């Protein structure tokens, strides 16, 4: 298994009500000459987590950071007015939180960031991941 020190959050930059699948993104990424989908996980509108690129493979989601990171994308990121914002549904939010928590159990202390934290050229996931994570930790009940 490769060394993982970072989880990078992305969005698909699709409309808030347009669900996409790993197969859809695989087609998009192959059209860009990727071997396969660049993300390791995709969280669909209903909160279902789909597996993308195997975690033991280096991702293709954050240039310069792929070797030691895991990429998670959520379907959405564009609101009804065409603005780039956090469009995660309640189900996506819950799934994202629990997926991150699970990955931390497996990989230990990792940095959590948005793609937008790694480059000025990206707005994805269209929100501040650090602020989101603090809010989630303060307001999520583990049962």
Distant-in-sequence contacts of 63-66, Cβ < 8 A, 24+ apart: 63/119, 64/118, 65/6, 65/8, 65/118
Please list, in sequence order, all residues whose beta carbon lies within 8 angstroms of the beta carbon of residue 48, skipping any fewer than 6 positions away. 95
Total Cβ atoms within 10 A of residue 123: 16
Residue pair 10/71 in contact by the 8 Å Cβ criterion: yes
The catalytic residue positions are 10, 39, 115, 122, 124
């Amino acid at each position: 298994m490769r060394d993982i020190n970072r989880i990078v959050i992305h969005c698909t930059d699709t409309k808030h009500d347009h669900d996409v699948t790993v197969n859809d993104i695989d087609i998009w990424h192959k059209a860009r000459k990727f071997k396969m989908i660049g993300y390791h996980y995709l969280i669909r509108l209903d909160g279902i987590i789909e597996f993308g690129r195997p975690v033991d493979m280096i991702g293709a989601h954050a240039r310069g950071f792929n070797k030691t990171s895991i990429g998670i994308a959520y379907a959405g990121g564009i609101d009804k007015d065409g603005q780039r914002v956090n469009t995660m549904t309640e189900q996506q939010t819950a799934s994202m939180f629990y997926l991150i928590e699970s990955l931390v159990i497996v990989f230990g202390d990792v940095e959590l960031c948005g793609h937008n934290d790694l480059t000025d050229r990206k707005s994805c996931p269209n929100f501040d991941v650090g602020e989101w994570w603090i809010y989630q930790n303060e307001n999520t009940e583990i049962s």
